[in-house]
Amino acid sequence: MPGKTKSLKWFGKAVTKNMREAQIEGVNRTMAACAAEAKANHEWQNRTATLEGAIDIADYAAPVTDGVKGTWGARDVVYALIQELGGTIKAKNAKALAIPQDDGSVRFVKSVEIPARPYLRPAADKEYPKLAGRIKKAFERRSKKV
């Protein structure tokens, strides 16, 4: 159409900023949901709540070169990994391990097999598929403000 012009308003920087903020929010919400799920649903018998208390976001989401990165899991509990994956504990600095029994006695063994009692992986399996939806919702909320 000669004589008529249309213009396009470019919001590229705002869109990029909103997307990065939405990614951060989505990752943080997903990590929080994973931590809550892992604390609430696990196979082991909770005696001290030490492991449950250690499950949390370790590093909140932050921008990295190609996206956003955050870390969650169980921190500062030496037996956290063996609970998740299972494994064998062997006596290192003694001839045997002392295993307390329910009747108050002690049984001595050279090693003990700990079965896997996953709590982080099942939480991630449940919550990670929701990540894209969380990012989308956060982006839509932010885009309404532009």
Residue 133 has pLDDT above 80, yes or no: yes
The 10s digit of each residue's pLDDT in 22-54 is: 999 999 999 999 999 999 988 878 788 899 999
pLDDT, position 10: 78
Query: Please, is 21 exposed, middle or buried when counting C-beta atoms within 10 Å of its C-beta (0-12, 13-18, 19+)?
Result: middle
The 10s digit of each residue's pLDDT in 49-104 is: 899 999 999 999 999 998 999 999 999 999 999 999 999 999 999 999 999 998 99
- Report d(CA 11, CA 89) in Å as an integer: 58
User: Does 5 fall in a domain?
Assistant: no
Q: Which domain holds residue 102?
A: 12-143
The 10s digit of each residue's pLDDT in 113-124 is: 999 999 999 999
User: Does 2 fall in a domain?
Assistant: no
pLDDT, position 97: 94
Residue 141 has pLDDT above 60, yes or no: yes
* DSSP-assigned beta bridge partners for residue 75: none
User: Does 91 fall in a domain?
Assistant: yes
User: Does 130 fall in a domain?
Assistant: yes
- Report d(CA 12, CA 94) in Å as an integer: 65
User: Does 4 fall in a domain?
Assistant: no
| Structural domains of the chain, count | 1
With vertex at residue 62, the alpha carbon angle to CA 57 and CA 66, rounded to the nearest 5 degrees, is: 125
Query: pTM value?
Result: 0.82
Residue 131 has pLDDT above 80, yes or no: yes
User: Does 1 fall in a domain?
Assistant: no
- Report d(CA 18, CA 48) in Å as an integer: 42
- With b for 16 or more beta-carbon neighbours within 10 A and e for fewer, the 28-40 pattern comes to bbbbbbbbebbbe
Q: Which residues contact 115 (CB under 8 A, 6 or more apart)?
A: 86
